[in-house]
């Protein structure tokens, strides 16, 4: 029946689609452990978990201030009669063909959610959201089309207490993940506005900000020439010096007093908080892409690797796009894939599997073995029973491929006598243990690993 239906399609590639990834073995396990650590950290601060759909109505995603990312939305083809109708017309536009899109970040869905459940949510609201996002990037090494974001946000708090606590939570999450060499880079959108005004980009603020955001990706020459193009003249040396890092936040005390005050207060509070940050740096050219930021923006860098591990900022106007009134908000998005890259470099994958392997000597013993394994699991001991009828040799080969150290020998005699041999693969030694003592025996073995 199934053969007639499932065609043999040998020409179908078994690779994941271009820009997408499969995870198995230790890699999948590691991803899972990191997610748990981040979740536990954010929960320990009282942040509440949310989930939103992968797909949003396309109008929610478009015009959300996601800038370039809006061009990268994976759009869902309309279905059924709606699609037929459009196809029959013939003169179809891209915009007519799709009604849904995969989210490109977690901030836009969060803002929609806050607007929708405004009555249910007590403000200020601390929340976190760990989920994949999708961007139709050109596939290239290290750039993926589906990747995990870990966002933490405080909604409804306008003071710098919100920035401080988001930063505290993020730095703690990194510490719990074993990442300690952290630098925090700070800026304020008010600084960028002031620079744009002072140096004559007032009419072209948006383009000025976008250019600053790309500064890291351009050579000094290319950046300067793009800046000249934008200003329509030679860009002032003073501006180039400021952007080149030759300025302190205090230089902006008069130019952007409110922005300066916030940066000053946050820097001062961070130094008292002793979070263990390697450095806190003011960086007047830090923009953080998204058009929706309105105040502080920040980025976390790994000090020695020079790798950006995530960033965020204040977006006081984005919720208002969906709602009758603006609600202030601050968030940070941790770059999960970058983090994994870093941890692969700095840490070896954990081995030392704390689980027992039980071969099945004879099929007629399988039920007894499955029962024994269930009893051990009830005592918190993880057991892997070999699931097929195979020679003992193949079963033990399987155990060694899976890096199991301890094998519980459960032959007919052992099951009868309720006295089992435990073999240690790493030493070749065997010892006999009575059934009733197995759980404690294994707990002791595991505690020594």
Among residues 139, 220, 273, 449, the one that binds a second copy under rule CB under 8 A: 273
Among residues 214, 366, 423, 441, the one that binds a second copy under rule CB under 8 A: 366
CB atoms within 10 A of CB 115: 17
Distances (CA, A) of 257 to 188, 206, 252, 317: 11, 21, 7, 21
Burial level of 421, CB count in 10 A (0-12/13-18/19+)?
middle
Closest approach, Cβ 33 to a second copy, in A, equals 10
Q: Name which of residues 117 to 176 contact a second copy (CB under 8 A).
A: 117, 120-122, 124, 126-127, 132, 134, 136, 145-146, 154, 156-159, 161-162, 164-165, 168, 172
Mind giving me the DSSP string for 228-294?
A: HHHHTSPPPHHHHHHHTT---GGGGTTTSHHHHHHHHHHHHHHHHHT---SEEEE-TT---S-TT--
Which range of residues in 5-13, 236-244, 277-285, 342-350 is near a second copy by CB under 8 A? Answer: 5-13
Among residues 34, 38, 65, 422, the one that binds a second copy under rule CB under 8 A: 65
What value does the CA radius of gyration of the chain take, rounded to a whole number of Å?
28
* Using rule CB under 8 A, residue 20 touches a second copy: yes
Closest approach, Cβ 245 to a second copy, in A, equals 23
Joined tokens for residue 12? 């179908």
* Using rule CB under 8 A, residue 323 touches a second copy: yes
Q: Would you say 67 or 231 has its CB closer to a second copy?
A: 67
Q: What angle do CA 423, 418, 446 make, to 5 degrees?
A: 40
Q: Any idea what DSSP says for residue 291?
A: T
Joined tokens for residue 409? 């020998």
Among residues 261, 278, 321, 441, the one that binds a second copy under rule CB under 8 A: 321
Which range of residues in 12-20, 219-227, 419-427, 440-448 is near a second copy by CB under 8 A? Answer: 12-20
Nearest to 340 by CA among 7, 28, 14: 28
* Using rule CB under 8 A, residue 375 touches a second copy: no
Three-state secondary-structure class, residue 184: strand
What gap in Å lies between CA 363 and CA 55, rounded to an integer?
48
* Using rule CB under 8 A, residue 292 touches a second copy: yes
Question: Residues touching a second copy: how many (CB under 8 A)?
Answer: 134
Q: Would you say 73 or 301 has its CB closer to a second copy?
A: 73
Closest approach, Cβ 339 to a second copy, in A, equals 16
What gap in Å lies between CA 126 and CA 116, rounded to an integer?
17
What gap in Å lies between CA 318 and CA 327, rounded to an integer?
8
* Using rule CB under 8 A, residue 29 touches a second copy: yes
Q: Name which of residues 106 to 125 contact a second copy (CB under 8 A).
A: 112-113, 115-117, 120-122, 124
Among residues 143, 246, 347, 402, the one that binds a second copy under rule CB under 8 A: 402
Closest approach, Cβ 371 to a second copy, in A, equals 6
Which range of residues in 232-240, 252-260, 340-348, 365-373 is near a second copy by CB under 8 A? Answer: 365-373
What gap in Å lies between CA 258 and CA 263, rounded to an integer?
9
Distances (CA, A) of 2 to 7, 9, 378: 9, 14, 39
CB atoms within 10 A of CB 137: 13
* Using rule CB under 8 A, residue 25 touches a second copy: yes
* Using rule CB under 8 A, residue 425 touches a second copy: no
Q: Name which of residues 33 to 52 contact a second copy (CB under 8 A).
A: 39, 43-46, 48-52
Closest approach, Cβ 305 to a second copy, in A, equals 25
Q: Name which of residues 195 to 254 contact a second copy (CB under 8 A).
A: 205-206, 209
Closest approach, Cβ 306 to a second copy, in A, equals 27
Mind giving me the DSSP string for 352-404?
A: ----EEE--SSGGGHHHHHHHHHHHHHTT--EEE--S---HHHHHHHHHHTT-
Which range of residues in 215-223, 332-340, 385-393, 428-436 is near a second copy by CB under 8 A? Answer: 385-393
Distance of CA 253 to the CA centre of its chain: 36
* Using rule CB under 8 A, residue 448 touches a second copy: no
What gap in Å lies between CA 407 and CA 370, rounded to an integer?
15
What gap in Å lies between CA 373 and CA 384, rounded to an integer?
8
Q: Name which of residues 73 to 102 contact a second copy (CB under 8 A).
A: 74-77, 79, 83, 87, 90-94, 97-98, 100, 102
Q: Would you say 35 or 226 has its CB closer to a second copy?
A: 35
């Amino acid at each position: 029946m199934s053969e007639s239906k499932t065609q043999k399609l040998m020409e179908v590639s078994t690779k994941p689609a271009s820009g997408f990834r499969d995870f198995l073995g230790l890699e999948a396990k590691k991803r899972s452990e990191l997610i748990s650590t981040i979740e536990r950290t954010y929960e320990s601060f009282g942040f509440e978990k949310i989930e939103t759909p992968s797909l949003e109505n396309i109008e929610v995603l478009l015009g959300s201030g996601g800038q370039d990312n809006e061009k990268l939305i994976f759009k869902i083809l309309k279905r059924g009669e709606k699609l037929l109708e459009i196809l029959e017309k013939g003169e179809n536009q891209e915009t007519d063909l799709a009604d849904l899109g995969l989210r490109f970040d977690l901030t836009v869905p969060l803002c929609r959610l806050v607007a929708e459940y405004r009555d249910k949510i007590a403000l200020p609201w601390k929340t976190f959201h760990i989920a994949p996002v999708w961007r139709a990037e050109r596939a290239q090494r290290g750039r993926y089309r589906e990747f995990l974001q870990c966002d933490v946000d405080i909604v409804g708090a306008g003071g710098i207490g919100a920035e401080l606590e988001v930063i505290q939570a993020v730095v703690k999450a990194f510490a719990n993940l074993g990442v300690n060499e952290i630098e925090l880079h700070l800026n304020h959108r008010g600084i960028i506005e002031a620079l744009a005004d002072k140096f004559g980009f007032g009419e072209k603020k948006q383009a000025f900000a976008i250019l600053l955001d790309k500064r890291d990706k351009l050579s000094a020459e290319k950046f300067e020439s793009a800046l000249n193009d934008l200003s329509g003249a030679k860009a002032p040396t003073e501006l180039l010096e400021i952007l080149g890092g030759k300025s302190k936040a205090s230089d902006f005390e008069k130019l952007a007093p409110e922005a300066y005050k916030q940066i000053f207060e946050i820097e001062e509070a961070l130094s008292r908080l002793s979070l263990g940050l390697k450095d806190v740096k003011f960086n007047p050219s830090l923009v953080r892409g998204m058009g929706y930021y309105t105040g502080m923006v920040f980025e976390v860098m790994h000090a020695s690797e020079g790798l950006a591990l995530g960033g965020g900022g204040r977006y006081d106007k984005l919720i208002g796009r969906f709602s009758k009134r603006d609600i202030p908000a601050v968030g940070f998005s941790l770059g999960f894939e970058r983090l994994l890259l870093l941890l692969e470099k700095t840490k070896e994958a954990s081995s030392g599997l704390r689980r027992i392997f039980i071969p099945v000597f004879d099929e007629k013993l399988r039920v007894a073995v499955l029962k024994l394994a269930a009893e051990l699991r009830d005592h918190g001991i993880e057991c892997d029973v070999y699931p097929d009828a195979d020679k003992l040799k193949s079963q033990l080969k399987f155990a060694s491929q899976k890096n199991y150290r301890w094998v519980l020998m459960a032959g007919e005699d052992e099951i009868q006598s309720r006295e089992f041999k435990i073999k240690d693969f790493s030493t070749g030694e065997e010892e006999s243990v009575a059934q009733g003592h197995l759980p404690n025996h294994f707990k002791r073995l595991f505690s020594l690993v």
